[in-house]
A and B are shown apart, each in its own frame.
Chain A
């Protein structure tokens, strides 16, 4: 099956710094990638939808200036958490879809962010 990787798998940073998380589709080209956030013992919440070459669509309540998403190629999307604060500590999971009107989203293994 299709593989999606994330890097880093975990990161610890100081409050006020920015952190970039990469999401790559390893063996397929993803027209659309999605970013989710999961707090401990909670479900996945969709943050944004990212289409290659265009601006991301953010879900209500997600600050686009704080969570910068770039989808510069069909195999790479990045999420940058700017000026991170402890409340941004979470598990960030990306997923990728092969093509329009396909059912399957392939999920990455997640990135655990801890902001001190």
Chain B
């Protein structure tokens, strides 16, 4: 069953703007991960945030995690046309369980 729900389902922005995607989940988690997928291609791992962490940065990416609200956000700053892709959050209940993916956000960055 789907664990995460992303919103918005689709987002269209101009190049240079920031893009924010949100993810909500239903149960306690060990960690939450964000992935990118270009159309028809495989997954690219972006960032992992553990349940005891509140914020992580990686380049132009900023991820926050609020376990009390069971939600996470992914911020992409200064977006580029090459950021156009689908973005998924995925959660793991424990270190042993498989990742369960949210429905994803389709991001379009217009040059």
Contacts and interface: CB of A to CB of B under 8 A. Distances in A.
B92 A49 contact: no
Interface size on A, as a range, is 20 to 34
Contacts of B33: 103
A104 B48 contact: yes
Interface in A22-55: 34, 36, 41-46, 49
B102 A102 contact: no
Nearest to A9: B42
Contacts of B98: 34, 46, 49, 95, 105
Given A100-B96, A101-B96, A107-B42, A42 B31 contact: no
Interface stretch (A65-73, A74-82, A108-116): A108-116
A49 B92 CA distance: 14
Contacts of A21: none
Interface residues of B, number: 26
A102 B2 contact: no
Interface string B36-65: 000011110100101000000000000000
Given A91-B40, A103-B30, A109-B41, A44 B95 contact: no
Contacts of B41: 109-110
A6 B57 CA distance: 31
B99 interface: yes
B88 interface: yes
Contacts of A42: 103
Contact of B99 (A41, A91, A105): A105
A93 interface: yes
16 contacts: A34-B98, A36-B101, A42-B103, A43-B102, A43-B104, A44-B43, A60-B1, A91-B40, A93-B42, A95-B98, A100-B95, A100-B96, A101-B94, A103-B33, A105-B99, A112-B40
